[in-house]
Amino acid sequence: MATPLVAVEHRTEPQDERTALTKEAFQRDFFNNLFYILGKFPTLATKNDYYQALAFVVRDRMLQRWISTAAAYTKQGSRTVAYFSAEFLMGPHLGNNLVNLGIHDEVRKAVTELGLDFNELLLEEDEPGLGNGGLGRLAACFIESLATLQIPSLGYGIRYEFGIFHQEIVDGWQTERTDKWLRFGNPWEIPRPEWAVHVKLGGYTEPYRDEFYRHRVRWVPDRLVAAVPYDTPILGYHTNTANTLRLWKAEAPESFDFAVFNRGDYYGAVMQKVSSENLSKVLYPNDEQLQGKELRLSQQYFFVSASLQDMFRILKIQKIPVERFHEKFAAQLNDTHPAIAVAELMRLLIDENVVPWEQAWDITRRTFAYTNHTLLPEALECWPLPLFAKLLPRHLEIIFEINARFLDEVRIRFYGDEERIARMSLIDERGERYVRMAHLACVGSHAINGVAELHSELLKQDVLRDFYELWPTRFGNKTNGVTPRRWMALSNPRLTKLVSSHIGDEWITDLSQLRRLEPLAEDAGFRQQWLDVKRACKCDFAAVALKKTGITIDPDSLFDVQVKRIHEYKRQHLNILHVVALYHRLRSNPNVDITPRTFIFGGKAAPGYHIAKLIIKLITSVGDVVNRDPAVRDRLKVVFLPNFNVKNGQRIYPAADLSEQVSTAGKEASGTGNMKFSMNGALTIGTMDGANIEIREEVGAENFFLFGLTTPEVGALKASGYNPANYLDGELKEVVELIRSGFFSRGDAELFRPLIDGLVHHDPYLVFADFDSYSKAQQQVSAAYQDRDHWARMSILNSARSGKFSSDRTIREYCDDIWKAPAVPIRLLTQEDVKVGVMQ
Ligand code: NBG
């Protein structure tokens, strides 16, 4: 059954004085905020003060929607999606809120009239970088789409005091600086200490009989941490809906110091407070890599427990019995980071609400669904049993019980297949014992999905094959998407204007309408306008690149871009080897005719991932040589843009001609950057991996540069005993020798040895095997770019056919197939309505 999720426009809202949408009101409130909230006057005000004064102007306009939304959901007891995610990579709020409120241009005018630089104020916002990469950004796109589609929802996560580190490039190397995003305060959040809850940790359990002589278990923790919610409103685009992102901050409980304090150990008491606060101090900066630290598991449990307790509180206010938990809430597990929720909901139901096991299990399973985001074995979370037992003794008991019952079910289905039972167990007992979080997530969920078609297929065939064989109907696919509000309307206003002037602006909430651009690909005038927009975006980016790196780049060269986390499976090294090959060609034959290109790289390496950091060093070192070599005469440039984040992404995607999506087939679960590029008119050079396959299917094979081995070919080559040295001949050999010789490292032949030796002897991601095919595809790119007119056609078609990759489509599918959550349109309340409510 399809739920009606049409975004209804309600723009005739009642307005209070404080929420009026006129230029005069904006200007008046701007100064009011500067005086009364920030306590500044213009002579002393910093740019950041002005940014905040503006942020509060916008926030006032959001609060009316937020309150109206909360009132409607509370009154109606609406079914609510709870999106559980350890990461929300939101990016700056101000611009997005202006776009979604529909007041972007008016506010720009109002601010400009005051003699301030609007863009500069937007740049003042320190973005909440509470995520590593695609997984966290997906969560951000999803909650925006949920609000746009008017689905009641709550995003639950952690309010890290330090988000993803700030990357600087020093002497060509990545260096990390702490991300002090809260330094000047955060105007977008409201703390709700009155809804704080306690989270238990450690200690032991004991059985007891309650007053009705029932057998129960009590968890006696050795630590309590207070979880304080900080709420951020998430606006839908041109709707009255403002949902909530609720992030938990760890604090010491009120009575934290009582016992210690009485013993006179003031210092010890304060230290205990510090240790509680550590829980939400910092985001672990690992992407696709397990960090088996106790603090990490504590963080996961901390936010999951706080969120579930919060959901019980909501049930209580709305007078819904706990037995109907799953009717009120659909909870999505964003990867296994929140998988402990399965055991925690069981504990809350059984131990704290005295619900019988079978019923509790039924509620739990109907509540949760699990999204897997990776096929890399090193990213699958497993916790050592002793660590788990120490931190979460009661949960371990519950997991054992879940496991015993689950394995009984497997035994009956697969009689005598003890190997299968060992493989499927929630506990890995092959050596040291581990809790397998992906198995817990599968067993505790009624729906399991991957994030692109290929990925979901590989889950069924490989990583989760046993679970698929047991419960085939639980498995499905939900191909990722990205929000066109941030990734087009906000970040590419020129393209937005051009597109809207031809097909109207409904595409912003119905991206499939971009198809109406297709016929315009044959219109020479439109193609010229399209190229003009692209060129203007490239000029903007060239200015940014110059400012951040000191490198001058030519906006008429082909902008060839790879921005994403640095990881061997994503193969930035394949890209840079090709750059060296081009350089080598130019040096060997200075008159060779090549298409001028600017290679742009960006992305962070996990601080402990040495090879990834060495790849960055190789990129910057090649850049140092190439950018300065007069023989190249500006035909090649290499830029490593430091600190790739949401803010920088917004300037890069619109400026790209070519999008590098070159992961080894079968390794990238989906990718979402690939979608942002394509929407903004970049062509893709890519492998048959993740969502690339679906992008190619949509835009047409003739508008996509395909190369490389397919997933089955990768498997076959590995099975036959892959030897990378066999591929080391011709140009690739010369390239490798050049790097090995120390040419890019001032004669230091040792510097890149770990990277080069690793490729020559192991090459787990088949860089060498794919090099030739990649290089040929790049020659096709160069040739194609020579015919600008044809390139423009392909670029237009990429954008026109990217409708599938809106996160609105993805969220509709989740709502229809998994969450069964219908839209709830919101009527705006005025302050008068609210006052009447108070008087009643
Ligand atoms: C990442 C995948 C990407 C995918 C995003 C969002 C993790 C664990 N996974 O391919 O690598 O696009 O998730 O689904 O970060």
| Residue tagged active-site, from 570, 597, 613, 637 | 570
The alpha carbon dihedral of 416, 417, 418, 421 has a sign of negative
- For the CA of 690, the nearest atom of ligand 1: 10
Q: Please give the number of the atom of ligand 1 that sits closest to the Cα of 133.
A: 15
Q: Report the phi/psi class of residue 700: left, alpha or beta, with left for phi > 0 and alpha for psi in -120 to 50.
A: left
Q: What is the pTM of this model?
A: 0.96
Q: Ligand 1 centre and the CA of 234: distance in Å?
A: 23
From ligand 1's centre to the CA of 144, what distance in Å?
18
CA of 399 to the centre of ligand 1 (A): 27
Closest ligand 1 atom to 671 CA: 12
Query: Could you give the dihedral angle defined by the CA atoms of residues 458, 459, 464 and 467, in that order, rounded to the nearest 10 degrees?
Result: -110
Q: Taking the CB of residue 522, how many other CB atoms lie within 10 A of it? A: 10
Q: How far apart are CA 195 and CA 656, in angstroms?
A: 45
What is the chain's percent helix, strand, coil content, to nearest 5?
55, 15, 30
How far away, in angstroms, is 70 Cα from ligand 1 center?
32
pLDDT number for residue 14: 58
> Could you tell me the distance, in angstroms and rounded to a whole number, from the CA of residue 373 to the centre of ligand 1?
5
Q: Are residues 428 and 540 in the same domain?
A: no
Q: Is 672 designated active site? A: yes
**676 and 743 part of one domain:** yes
Are 322 and 188 within one domain?
A: yes
Q: Which residues of the chain have pLDDT under 70?
A: 1-15, 254-263, 838-840
112 belongs to a structural domain: no
pLDDT score, position 3:
34
214 CB-near residues (< 8 Å, 6+ apart): 354
Structure tokens at 319: 């007078």
Pairwise CA distance, residues 63 & 84, whole Å: 24
Phi, psi for residue 445 in degrees, rounded to 5 = -120, 150
* Ligand 1 centroid – CA 496 distance (Å): 28
DSSP designation for 236: P
Give me ligand 1 centre to Cα 611, in Å.
20
How far apart are alpha carbons 408 and 614 in whole angstroms?
Answer: 49
DSSP string, 241-299: -EEEEEEEEEE--TTTTHHHHHTT-HHHHHHHHHHHHGGGTB----SSS----HHHHHH
The verdict on residue 416 lying in a domain is yes
Report in angstroms the alpha-carbon separations of 214 from 321, 350, 355, 645.
Answer: 21, 12, 12, 54
Whole-angstrom Cα distance, residue 732 to residue 722?
17
Beta strands 658-661 and 683-686: pairing type? parallel
Looking from the CA of residue 373, the nearest atom of ligand 1 is 9
Does 55 reside within a domain? no
390 catalytic per annotation: no
Strand partners, 282: 162
Residues lining ligand 1, CB < 6 A?
Answer: 133-135, 138, 287-288, 335, 373-374, 379, 451, 480, 668-672, 690
Catalytic option among 549, 598, 672, 687 = 672
Does residue 151 sit within a domain? yes
Measured between alpha carbons, how far is 452 from 694 in angstroms, rounded to an integer? 8
Ligand 1 centroid – CA 674 distance (Å): 12
- My answer on whether 452 and 502 are in the same domain is no
Residue 623 included in any domain: yes
Which residue, of 429, 452, 477, is where some domain finishes?
477
Task: Please give the distance, rounded to the nearest whole angstrom, from the Cα atom of residue 767 to the centre of ligand 1.
Answer: 21
pLDDT of residue 805: 98
Separation of CA 204 and ligand 1 centre (Å): 36
Same domain, 512 and 640: yes
pLDDT value at position 10?
Answer: 40
Q: Is 486 inside a domain boundary?
A: no
- The ligand 1 atom at the shortest distance from the C-alpha of residue 668 is 10
What are the start-end ranges of the H helices in 447-588?
453-458, 465-470, 484, 493-503, 524-549, 572-588
Taking CA atoms, 632 is separated from 388, 605, 618, 640, 736, in Å, by: 58, 29, 19, 18, 20
810 occurs within a structural domain:
no
Residue keyed to tokens 């207070």: 226
* Distance (Å) from CA 666 to ligand 1 centroid: 13
From the list 247, 219, 255, the residue with the least C-alpha distance to 161 is: 247
Q: Whose CA is nearest to atom 6 of ligand 1?
A: 135
How many whole angstroms separate alpha carbon 676 and alpha carbon 696?
A: 14
List the structure tokens of 157: 């996560």
Q: Do residues 666 and 711 lie in contact, with contact meaning Cβ atoms separated by under 8 Å?
A: yes
d(CA 652, CA 607): 24
Among 376, 451, 566, the mutation site with the greatest number of ligand 1 atoms within 8 A of its Cβ is: 451
Q: How many whole angstroms separate alpha carbon 768 and alpha carbon 760? A: 8
Q: How far apart are CA 659 and CA 679, in angstroms?
A: 11
Question: CB neighbours of 388 closer than 8 A, spacing ≥ 6?
Answer: 297, 395, 396, 435
For residue 692, what are the contacts with CB-CB under 8 A and spacing of at least 6? 661, 668, 671, 674, 684, 686
Give SS3 for 339: coil
407 and 294 together in one domain: yes
Query: Of 564, 604, 667, 809, which one is the catalytic site residue?
Result: 564
Token duo for residue 640: 């490593």
Which of 142, 449, 670 best tests ligand 1's pocket when mutated (most atoms within 8 Å of CB)? 670
CB of 693 closer than 8 Å to CB of 669: no
Same domain, 450 and 503: no
Spell out the SS3 assignment of 645-673: CHHHHHHHHHHCCEEEECCCCCCCCCCCH
Radius of gyration for the chain, computed over Cα atoms and rounded to the nearest angstrom: 27
Query: Which among 320, 418, 438, 423 has a CA at the least distance from the CA of 375?
Result: 438
Query: Atom 12 (ligand 1): residue with closest C-alpha?
Result: 671
pLDDT tens-digit readout, 616-633: 999 999 999 999 999 998
157 part of a folded domain: yes
Q: Are 243 and 152 in contact (CB under 8 A)?
A: yes
For residues 472 and 497, state if they share a domain.
Answer: no
Task: Give the domain-ending residue among 477, 511, 542.
Answer: 477
Domain count, the chain: 2
Residue 199 maps to which CATH number?
3.40.50.2000
Q: Catalytic: 497?
A: no
Question: Any residues with CB less than 8 A from the CB of 560 and at least 6 apart, and which?
Answer: 597, 598, 599, 600, 656, 657, 658, 660, 781
- Are residues 151 and 142 in contact, defined by beta-carbon separation less than 8 angstroms? no
3-class DSSP state of 85: coil
Environment class of residue 805 by beta-carbon count within 10 Å: exposed (0-12), middle (13-18) or buried (19+)? buried
Report the C-alpha dihedral over residues 548, 550, 551, 553, rounded to 10 degrees.
70
Q: Rounded to whole angstroms, how far apart are CA atoms 243 and 146?
A: 8
CA of 671 to the centre of ligand 1 (A): 6
Q: Residue 561 is inside which H or E element, if any?
A: strand 558-563
564 as an active site residue: the answer is yes
What is the distance between the alpha carbons of residues 158 and 258, in angstroms, rounded to a whole number? 27
Of all protein residues, the one whose alpha carbon is nearest to atom 15 of ligand 1 is 135
Give the separation between CA 169 and CA 617, rounded to whole angstroms: 9
pLDDT (tens digit per residue) in 392-403:
999 999 999 999
Residue range of the domain that includes 527: 493-805
Judge if 505 and 452 occupy the same domain. Answer: no
Rounded (5°) CA angle 391-392-396: 135
Which ligand 1 atom is nearest residue 451's CA?
14
Atom of ligand 1 nearest to the CA of 138: 6
What DSSP string describes 163-186?
A: -SPEEEEETTEEEEE---TTTT--
Question: Do 449 and 587 reside in the same domain of the chain?
Answer: no
Q: How many CB atoms lie within 10 A of CB 316?
A: 11
Q: Are residues 610 and 669 in the same domain?
A: yes
Q: Which of 246, 373, 486, 812 is the catalytic position?
A: 373
497 and 406 both lie in a single domain: no
